[in-house]
Amino acid sequence: MSIPYPRSDKYSHDLPTIYAECSGPGGLQLTEFMAEKMGLRPNARVLDVGIESGYQTCFLAKEYGVYVIGLDPDDDRSDGIPHIEHLMRNARNWDVEDRVIGLKLGVPETYFASNTFDFVHSTTTLEMMRGFFGETMYCQCLSEIYRILRPGGVFGLGEPMHLNVPIPADLAPIYTKGDGAGPEGWAKCFATVDETVEACRAVGFDVIEADNAPDAWHWWDEFSRNDPYCKADPEGEAKVIQQDGGRWLTYGYVIARKPD
């Protein structure tokens, strides 16, 4: 299933570039899906948490006319260049330099004043914080996002999740093997939609909407066929995703509001 994506369809002829510049399932379709669910409006102040090369950040600035700060503490694993420098390269290419700023910072220590942003957007990022540092750290990240959103502000959280079913027996030995960023760590990283809703409510958010994205499997399938690291190692992550086939893997979202 694929729902219409009028804004990202303009770019979808170039999936290799989209998946080289982003780092996770969904690419620009995911970003459009989130932006529509969040109700982004022109000139709003948006924080994008975990940006990779900032391709999706620039898409938000270009297509929705928002001002975006992209936050990322890391350097690109392939070339060692800070992600925020790639963001500014993309900002020039997308002609949105006047609407985009990158900061080499991360959650949960952003140093922003409380009540700063109208919207916070974060995709395929916070689940890694859970995987590497545990549930307490995941909740600290949510608390920080809550603090820096203004009252009435909206948080759009999208991340790889799992369906509310046991891990299929053939995949359990893979998903529970370790702590890594690849499939070996996914049992530690991924939660269900219900668990994620609970975590958002626990830090104070009102949850407006939450579900598995209708195109979740389409995004995973597309990622496994186009992500450069998947393409370089077809017997690795790509094969595991195809073996899963959407039996356990999904992609969930939570749209949450900071109460007035």
What is the distance of C-alpha 161 from the center of its chain? 11
Strands 249-257 and 149-162: antiparallel
> CA dist 105 to 27, 84, 112, 126, 151, Å?
22, 10, 10, 14, 23
Q: Is the peptide bond before 16 cis (omega within 30 degrees of 0)?
A: no
Residue closer to ligand SAM by CB (options 107, 241) is 107
- The least distance separating ligand SAM from the CB of residue 170, rounded to whole angstroms, comes to 25
- The least distance separating ligand SAM from the CB of residue 251, rounded to whole angstroms, comes to 10
Residue closer to ligand SAM by CB (options 48, 244) is 48
- The least distance separating ligand SAM from the CB of residue 139, rounded to whole angstroms, comes to 14
Q: Which residues bind ligand SAM (CB under 6 A)?
A: 22-24, 49-52, 56, 71-74, 83, 106-107, 123-125, 129
Q: Longest Cα pair distance anywhere in the chain, in angstroms?
A: 51
- Phi and psi at residue 156, in whole multiples of 5°? -110, 110
- Phi and psi at residue 16, in whole multiples of 5°? -55, -40
Among 247, 249, 161, 250, which Cα is nearest to 200's? 161
Cα 113 from Cα 184, distance rounded (Å): 37
Residue closer to ligand SAM by CB (options 22, 40) is 22
- The least distance separating ligand SAM from the CB of residue 169, rounded to whole angstroms, comes to 28
**DSSP letter at 162?**
E
Residue closer to ligand SAM by CB (options 122, 174) is 122
Cα 159 from Cα 38, distance rounded (Å): 15
Residue closer to ligand SAM by CB (options 3, 172) is 3
- The least distance separating ligand SAM from the CB of residue 63, rounded to whole angstroms, comes to 16
Cα 36 from Cα 30, distance rounded (Å): 10
Residue closer to ligand SAM by CB (options 24, 156) is 24
Residue 1 corresponds to which tokens in the numbers above? 């299933």
Residue closer to ligand SAM by CB (options 16, 168) is 16
- The least distance separating ligand SAM from the CB of residue 160, rounded to whole angstroms, comes to 9
Q: Is 1 exposed, middle or buried (0-12, 13-18, 19+ CB in 10 A)?
A: exposed
- The least distance separating ligand SAM from the CB of residue 104, rounded to whole angstroms, comes to 10
